[in-house]
């Protein structure tokens, strides 16, 4: 095998029984943590938010126990090592600026994936072994996430399908279920060539069919609730799958021709959307500007120092044009902004955004143009999409999507992984 010739004595393909146990603790702990956060936010009638938080704590403990048995401070690239250290230390300063340590603050700190501390330290997953056995477990977890998403769609269907399009509970549930549980399965679709085989339907493996179903259900509810950012994420995932396939096939002319036909069909479909009631709310919101006014208020409230280093983890800005915004500082202050790169700047300044881009942009280049397998190209596409999503999404959030960004970054910087053949990877992912 090529990896043994290049890297004698190093196992890039399988994990030991001890590592398998730690992987289970880490990833299943993460799954529990994410699922019960979503249930707490949804105020599910069958479990109280307090009980959800108690289970979240167990999930968090599982993550810590599993991660401590897996993570090693070892890098395949010196540039990445230096920037990782700088970024993790700078992230610590963001957390320390403004943190409080009473009971409620500590609960938010560890149990809130959006405004807690975990988004700032998610990068530590890059310390997991860069190993096909590790990635195999991740793909299993993505399928579990997709299954849990579909179960929740069934359980909460009446709320999700409420025809009151201004129902904020329904809107929030659609976004949480999609972002925390459904969208991560796109990474499996990116790597779909590894999940084919003889038992397929029209050449598409069962795992791929399931993943596509999850994304289609997500797209349906995104359209139904007119969540434009979420629609863009689903559409861009499909576009990247097509790009990965084109990059790896010899029949490029045929694929490009099919893409043109598909584009034409999409145009005709969009032209006829007005005739269908399900799209009416989306069409009404199509050109609605819900960001620029908020952004202007943020710009006015930021000092030169704030732009450079941010306001810290509890950073806020004055924005009286948004309703129902109150906190201890008085009415009109917000601690989030819908534009992702501005959210990063609000908390950590341009320094924080620059550090992330200095890590992620070279990862995209290495994965797309310096690799021999689809896994590396899929990883690069995943990182690229996250950079693009900094406009329509909310910045750094402790989701599986963001965790996968760091996993993907580790893949892209690892020459050992980038030189593996697709056949070798497929054999061990299906083992």
Q: What is the pLDDT of residues 274-329, one digit of tens each?
A: 444 444 544 455 455 556 678 888 999 999 999 999 999 999 998 887 765 444 44
- Our separate counts of H helices and E strands in the chain read 21, 6
Provide the Cα torsion 49, 390, 125, 240; round to 10°.
110
Window from 165-179, 201-215, 319-333 with minimum mean pLDDT? 319-333
- b/e string for 302-313 if b means 16 or more Cβ within 10 A? beeebeebbbbb
Cα–Cα distance list, 49 to 40, 43, 60, 111, 271 (Å): 5, 6, 16, 11, 44
Work out the burial of residue 167: count CB atoms within 10 Å of its CB; fewer than 13 is exposed, 13-18 middle, 19 or more buried. Answer: middle
Residue with tokens 């549980």: 181
Total-model pTM: 0.87
Average pLDDT over residues 29-43: 94
Tens of pLDDT, residue by residue over 93-116, are 999 987 778 888 888 899 999 999
**pLDDT value of position 42:** 87
Tell me what pLDDT residue 399 has: 95
For 191, counting Cβ atoms within 10 Å of its Cβ (0-12 exposed, 13-18 middle, 19+ buried), the class is buried
Higher pLDDT, 265 or 350: 350
Cβ neighbours around 71 below 10 Å, total: 16
* pLDDT digit string, tens, across residues 397-422: 999 999 999 999 999 999 999 999 99
Determine the average pLDDT of the residues in 211-240. 87
SS3 category, 317: strand
- The three state secondary structure string of 362-411 is HHHHHHHHCCCCHHHHHHHHHHHHHHHCCCCCCCCCCCHHHHHHHHHHHH
């Amino acid at each position: 095998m090529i990896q043994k010739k290049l890297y004698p004595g190093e196992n890039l393909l399988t994990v030991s029984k001890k590592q398998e146990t730690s992987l289970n603790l880490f990833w299943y702990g993460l799954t529990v943590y994410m699922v019960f956060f979503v249930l707490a936010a949804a105020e599910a009638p069958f479990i109280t938010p307090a009980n959800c938080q108690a289970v979240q704590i167990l999930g968090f403990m599982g993550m810590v126990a599993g991660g401590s048995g897996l993570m090693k401070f070892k890098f395949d690239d010196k540039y990445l090592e230096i920037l990782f250290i700088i970024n993790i230390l700078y992230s610590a300063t963001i957390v320390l600026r403004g943190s409080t340590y009473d009971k409620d603050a500590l609960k938010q700190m560890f149990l809130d994936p959006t405004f807690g501390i975990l988004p700032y330290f998610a990068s530590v997953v890059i310390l997991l072994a860069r190993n096909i056995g590790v990635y195999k477990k991740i793909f299993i977890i993505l399928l579990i996430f997709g299954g849990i998403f579909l179960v929740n769609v069934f359980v909460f269907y009446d709320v999700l399908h409420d025809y009151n399009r201004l129902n904020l509970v329904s809107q929030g549930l659609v976004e949480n279920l999609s972002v925390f549980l459904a969208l991560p399965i796109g990474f499996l679709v990116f790597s779909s060539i590894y999940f084919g085989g003889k038992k397929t339907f029209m050449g598409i493996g069962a795992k791929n069919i399931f993943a596509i179903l999850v994304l289609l259900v997500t797209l349906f509810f995104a359209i139904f609730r007119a969540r434009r950012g979420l629609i863009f994420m689903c559409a861009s995932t499909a576009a990247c799958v097509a790009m990965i396939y084109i990059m790896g096939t010899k029949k490029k002319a045929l694929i490009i021709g099919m893409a043109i036909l598909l584009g034409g069909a999409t145009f005709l479909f969009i032209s006829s959307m007005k005739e269908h009631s399900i799209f009416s709310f989306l069409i009404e919101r199509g050109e609605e500007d819900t960001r620029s006014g908020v952004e202007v208020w943020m710009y006015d409230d930021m000092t030169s120092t704030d732009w450079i280093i941010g306001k810290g983890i509890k950073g806020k800005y004055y924005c009286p044009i948004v309703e129902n915004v109150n906190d201890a500082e008085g009415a009109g202050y917000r601690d989030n902004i819908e534009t992702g790169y501005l959210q990063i700047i609000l908390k950590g300044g341009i320094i924080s955004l620059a550090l992330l881009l200095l890590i992620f942009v070279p990862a995209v280049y290495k994965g797309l143009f310096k690799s021999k397998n689809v896994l590396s190209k899929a990883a690069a596409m995943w990182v690229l999409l996250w950079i693009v999503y900094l406009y329509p999404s909310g910045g750094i959030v402790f989701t599986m999507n963001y965790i996968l960004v760091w996993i993907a970054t580790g893949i892209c910087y690892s020459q050992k992984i980038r030189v593996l053949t697709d056949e070798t990877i497929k054999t061990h992912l299906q083992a």
